[in-house]
Amino acid sequence: MNLSVVPDFLAIGGLVLVFAALLKRTRQARSRYWLVGWAMILVHIVAQLIQRNLAPGAAADAALAVSLSMLLLTSVAFIWAGADARLAWWHDLAMTLLAAVPDVAFFVLASYGVEARLPYVACTALGLASTAWVFGRDRRRPGWCVPVVIGIYALQGLLAWQGAIEQAFIWMLFWHYLAVAFCFYRGAAAPSMGVLFTTVSFVAWAAVFPVAAALDPWLAGWGIENETWDLPKFLVATGMIFTLLEEQIGKAEHASQHDALTGLPNRRVFALRLEHALRRARQRGGRAAMLVIDLNEFKRVNDTLGHAAGDALLHFVAQRLQQGIRSDDTLARLGGDEFAVILPDVGDRAAAQARADRLARAFDASTQFHGQPLSIGASIGVALYPDDGQDETRLYAAADRAMYAGKLAIRPDRAADPELA
């Protein structure tokens, strides 16, 4: 009995369990496609095990057809994992696998040893049409995508017409896994080390098919071919897990530096950037300004309309303020209804005050919450380095006092209000 693929079965089975566990944590559509892809590789290995232990005949041909088809459909699932189209994922996957039926039919015909060329050519033509339809759903596809797909299927059709069926399905597997590498890299948020490693591993997986076929006469009997050709699979799995780990670390780092409600830098990041801005102003002999912004009567919104309305208003205010700052300015939420802005390289107090007045106009607009109009005013305090303070603490205190004075100027009758303290 031939049990040479049992180690692969155990290794891939473990990977399926790992990706199933990761899916419970990430809940990403991409992770679902990855899990489906690795499950198909597991079916591919099981079919391979069955085929190797059957006598030549219809049953062995059927097992070979399943094995090769799963290898092809795995690439389809991985390709779709990198696509930008996102509907209900089961619907997406079903439609994509349905579009791959002509390519699967090509593999089934080859597995059963069909010699007539016309069925292969017909499958190629249908495969071109279905693949063009799938790519047509991706609005982000490059303009050269369709001509390349036509060229790919033209070469496949030429090989089929010449009767080079084995070379044709090797070509199919090769370009499918190259497409996986392209879609994986293109669908990544950023070209991190994990993304680059996984992309290169997919390219290596694609190269296995033509290289293994070319070297098979020389490697037969060495007993190393299976281990060598399976290596890219495990490199891909390692890269996928590494990519997910990078993303989770990135999310955790972002969460530690940004306010969860508004997405603005938090107090910690603001303090670091203020320190940097003051150090640069000190070195250049220039000025920097700090603005402290506090919403007027925000507590009344929370008390009358609820905290959800208050959160909606804070999110709206953050968006409006962001529209009024320069790219090198820093807007942060310090907590509650308090925001702050760093203005590096400001000319003088008049320039800083003009910028504060511009931000104050952001509060002229209103937003809606469950049909209820929400609007609010704000008091803005301005402090200038080095005039009002030589360090971060003194500058913040000066800006806070100026903001508080602005509140008293609006409502002098509420000087003892704890909300103004």
Residues 138, 16, single domain; the answer is yes
Residues 76, 213, single domain; the answer is yes
The two three-digit tokens of residue 45, written as one number: 């290995």
Which pLDDT value is given to residue 86?
46
Which pLDDT value is given to residue 21?
87
Residue 91 in domain: yes
Which pLDDT value is given to residue 92?
62
A 10 A CB-CB count for 418 gives 7
Residues 347, 384, single domain; the answer is yes
Residues 218, 114, single domain; the answer is yes
Average pLDDT over all residues of the chain:
85
Each residue of 118-132: pLDDT tens digit? 999 999 999 998 887
H-only helix segments in 225-306: 225-257, 267-284, 298-305
Name which residue leads in pLDDT, 363 or 125: 125
The two three-digit tokens of residue 22, written as one number: 């990761």
Residues 185, 279, single domain; the answer is no
Count of domains forming the chain: 2
Which pLDDT value is given to residue 19?
87
Residues 102, 193, single domain; the answer is yes
Q: Which of 257, 283, 310 is the last residue of a domain?
A: 257
Whether the upstream peptide bond of residue 386 has omega within 30° of 0, thus cis, is yes
Which pLDDT value is given to residue 164?
92
The two three-digit tokens of residue 279, written as one number: 């150090």
Residue 394 in domain: yes
Residues 318, 217, single domain; the answer is no
Residue 208 in domain: yes
Domain assignment of residue 303, given as a range: 267-420
Residue 284 in domain: yes
Helix/strand/coil for 332: strand
CA 307, CA 297: separation in Å to the nearest integer?
A: 14
CA 88, CA 32: separation in Å to the nearest integer?
A: 12
Residues 220, 274, single domain; the answer is no
Lowest mean pLDDT segment, chosen from 11-25, 35-49, 321-335, 386-400: 11-25
Each residue of 173-197: pLDDT tens digit? 999 999 999 989 988 877 889 999 9
Residues 301, 157, single domain; the answer is no
Helix axes 165-187, 101-111, angle to 10 degrees: 150
- The angle formed by the CA atoms of residues 14, 17 and 20, to the nearest 5 degrees, is 150
pTM of the model: 0.74
Residue 364 in domain: yes
pLDDT surpassing 90 at residue 301: no
pLDDT surpassing 80 at residue 143: no
Residues 303, 347, single domain; the answer is yes
Residues 174, 75, single domain; the answer is yes
3-state percent helix, strand, coil for the chain, nearest multiple of 5: 70, 10, 20
Residue 189 in domain: yes
pLDDT surpassing 90 at residue 28: no
Residues 235, 329, single domain; the answer is no
Residue 262 in domain: no
Q: Which of 257, 281, 305 is the last residue of a domain?
A: 257
Q: Which of 257, 277, 305 is the last residue of a domain?
A: 257
Residue 1 in domain: no
Say which CATH number the domain at 278 has: 3.30.70.270
